[in-house]
Amino acid sequence: MTHEMAVSKAQEIAGSVLAPNAGQNDRAGRFSTEAVEALGRSGLLGLMLPADIGGSGLGPRTFAAVVAMLAEADASAAMVYLMHILGGATIAAARPDAAQAVATILQDICAGRHLSTLAFSEAGSRSHFWAPISRAHRNGHGVLISAKKSWVTSAGYAQSYVVSSLAPEGAGPTDSTLYLLPAQTHGLSVAGPWDGLGLRANASAPVTLEECPIPSGFQLTNDGAGFETMLNLILPLFNLGSAAVALGLCRAAVAGTASHLKRAKFEHLGQSLGESLPTLRAHLATMQIETDGLAARIDDLIDHLEKPRETTMLRVLESKAAAGDTVISVTSTAMRVCGGAAFSKHMNIERLFRDAHAGAVMAPTGDVLREFIGKSLLGIPLF
Ligand SMILES: Cc1cc2nc3c(=O)[nH]c(=O)nc-3n(C[C@H](O)[C@H](O)[C@H](O)COP(=O)(O)OP(=O)(O)OC[C@H]3O[C@@H](n4cnc5c(N)ncnc54)[C@H](O)[C@@H]3O)c2cc1C
């Protein structure tokens, strides 16, 4: 699959499967299994996996374009896809001792039969996902893990979970190890409902692990090396993907607002809202400027990921922080411009506005990213 083919498949799924059902799924808080099936059939679930195991071997540029395309139609489905791609990338990067055990799962992902996700955040350390409270204990064949994972996208729908836990002999708070837990693992259960303000259709419910047995073949990183994988593999892709979700939401907000300004009429003046009011045109223009600014920032991050250099980690941190602010600003302006019609849920703008607020609170949160950037500019250790 080429970049163009992947984007065109995403566009087709966004138009035929996601867009027609996004509003209804949002209202019902319903996870779209149809979206996952369509992504599986199209080959997009294996987008970034190596070609020699059946994946498409595509890079961050295609990933961001596909995520933005999906998010423009349905940010919930886009976030499910994003977390899956991260789960798949982590499984594919498994240490050599796990390669054989995870081979079938990677093949299933490439065949479109397997959805994965990340289960890092814990009730005890909240948004500080890099510092799990849970600790793995050796049981002779591998480890046992008990943990309270506070939010897990696709909980109850994923076929596997990439889980963090302190290494059995880990000495510090970030000495974690990553493990792969198939959904049917004994002791793994979805521990509550998901009824969020936004991203209501992505099943981000809590998951409890009670003495879950994990064979050594499903230990994805070396003992204590989970943090390194989170930082070097997962964080850059997560921040890029989150920024791409924000971009899709911004584009949808601009399109929805422009369409409203053309359609809605002041009949007593014989003009549309857009023809009648320069303030609304100026707000729309500001939304477009902010959206294109975010697109340029994402392009710059992709360039840094493709050609890593000294400023790459700074760009990784900046991108998600900036995207979180931009998408809240653009969708808030859309709410104001579309007035009572948006407020009364006559159009999709209020869903975009609610979905937009998830990015800034998903870890690393916008505040935490600023804290990291500020500390690094001042030469203060981050952890
Ligand atoms: C829709 C959704 C999907 C999610 N999906 C997943 C998933 O698939 N997997 C997963 O592991 N997690 C997931 N999460 C969890 C998410 O990544 C965060 O861990 C969670 O939202 C943090 O919420 P909290 O109330 O625990 O935040 P808290 O840690 O209580 O933070 C509260 C406030 O304090 C601020 N704050 C915290 N620490 C600092 C600091 N050091 N410096 C400055 N400010 C700080 C935060 O920015 C925030 O404003 C999801 C969350 C949501 C909302």
**DSSP letter string, 93-133:** T--GGGHHHHHHHHHHHHTT---EEEE--BTTTBT-TTS-S
41 Cα to the center of ligand 1, angstroms: 33
Looking at residue 368, its pLDDT comes to: 97
Query: Residue 182 pairs with which residues in a beta bridge?
Result: 160
- The number of angstroms, rounded, from the C-alpha of 20 to the middle of its chain's C-alpha atoms is 21
Pocket residue to mutate for ligand 1, from 242, 362, 373, most atoms within 8 A of Cβ: 362
Q: How far is the C-alpha of 200 from the C-alpha of 24, rounded, in Å?
A: 10
* 74, 116, 126, 371, best to mutate for ligand 1 pocket (most atoms within 8 Å of CB): 126
pLDDT at 383: 84
Q: Which pLDDT score is estimated for 82?
A: 98
How high is the mean pLDDT in each 10-residue block of the chain (383 residues)? 98 98 98 98 98 96 98 98 98 96 97 98 97 96 97 98 97 97 98 97 98 97 98 98 98 98 97 98 98 98 98 96 98 98 96 98 97 95 87
Q: Which of 125, 127, 229, 234 to mutate to test the pocket of ligand 1 (most atoms within 8 A of CB)?
A: 127
Phi-psi region of 54 (alpha: psi -120 to 50; beta: other; left: phi over 0): left
Looking at ligand 1, which residue's alpha carbon is closest to its atom 16?
Answer: 362
Question: 1 CB under 6 A from ligand 1?
Answer: no
To which residue do tokens 């979180």 refer? 324
Alpha carbon of 125 to ligand 1 centroid (Å)? 9
Q: Is 70 in the pocket of ligand 1 (CB under 6 A)?
A: no
pLDDT score for 382:
87
pLDDT of amino acid 270: 97
How many angstroms separate the alpha carbon of residue 360 from the centre of ligand 1? 9
How much is the pLDDT for 357?
98
Distance 120 CA to ligand 1 centre (A): 11
Q: Ligand 1 centroid vs 118 CA: distance in angstroms?
A: 14
